[in-house]
Amino acid sequence: MKTGSYLINASRGSVVDIPALVNAMRKGKLAGAALDVYPNEPAGNGDYFTNDLNSWAEDLRSLKNLILTPHIGGSTEEAQSAIGVEVADALVRYVNEGATLGAVNMPEVNLRSLTMDEPNHVRVIFIHRNVPGVLRKVNEVLGDHNVDKQMTDSRGEVAYLMADISNVAESEIKDLWQNLEDLSSRIRTRVLY
């Protein structure tokens, strides 16, 4: 690098020889540096970035004109708190509404919430193997009711269907659920009402 250059590493911790960086900055070869990654990442927020983690950590921290940021933004206390709230909210939305937005291991499906002014409405959640003909069979089961809204998505071998149907008598809910449970492609069936 040219004398007076600035080095930024946000790719991989092993890309930069940190002792050579410390030496180059002390000699004035580099004017400054910013690092977001390290060979060994700190375990959390606090006094973890020491020589116990990396043998050169204290030398690196003693340099002027250096920016050190946590590669894993989720390792800060604030981020951990925010992640906890986000995960809890997502779980509550799944349990209460069947929504899977933001899921990493499920297809993402979301419908607007059912409201109390929609009596005799049922939300059907049908997780199934992603094979041909499933939607036709599901819609045959739902066909005696008005499908107000329906959404489906798939991810690999798993597919997810969510449908809101109206004019469902309470006495029909168990049969509706059982008819979906009996489909050979079924992984999991839920009915919210």
Q: What is the pLDDT of residues 75-86, one digit of tens each?
A: 677 888 888 899
Q: Are residues 182 and 120 in the same domain?
A: yes
Look up 108 and say whether it is catalytic: no
The reported pLDDT for the residue numbered 118 is: 67
Q: Are residues 107 and 161 in the same domain?
A: yes
Q: Are residues 92 and 181 in the same domain?
A: yes
Q: Is the pLDDT of residue 74 over 70?
A: no
Q: Which domain holds residue 65?
A: 5-74
Q: Are residues 177 and 116 in the same domain?
A: yes
The reported pLDDT for the residue numbered 45 is: 59
pLDDT in tens, 132-150: 999 999 999 998 888 988 9
Among 58, 61, 71, 121, the active-site one is: 71
Q: Are residues 179 and 86 in the same domain?
A: yes
Q: Are 123 and 162 in contact (CB under 8 A)?
A: yes
Q: Is the pLDDT of residue 47 over 80?
A: no
Q: CA-CA distance, 35 to 25, in Å (whole number)?
A: 13
Look up 12 and say whether it is catalytic: yes
Looking at the structure of the chain, the number of domains it has is 2
Q: CA-CA distance, 106 to 148, in Å (whole number)?
A: 23
Phi, psi of 151, deg, nearest 5: -145, 145
Among 12, 26, 61, 188, the active-site one is: 12
Q: Are residues 121 and 147 in the same domain?
A: yes
Mean pLDDT of the chain: 88
Q: Are residues 98 and 182 in the same domain?
A: yes
Confidence bin at 184 (pLDDT 50/70/90): very high
Question: Any idea what the CATH number is for the domain that residue 32 is in?
Answer: 3.40.50.720
Look up 186 and say whether it is catalytic: no
Structure-model confidence comparison of residues 47 and 58, the more confident one: 58
Q: Are residues 109 and 147 in the same domain?
A: yes
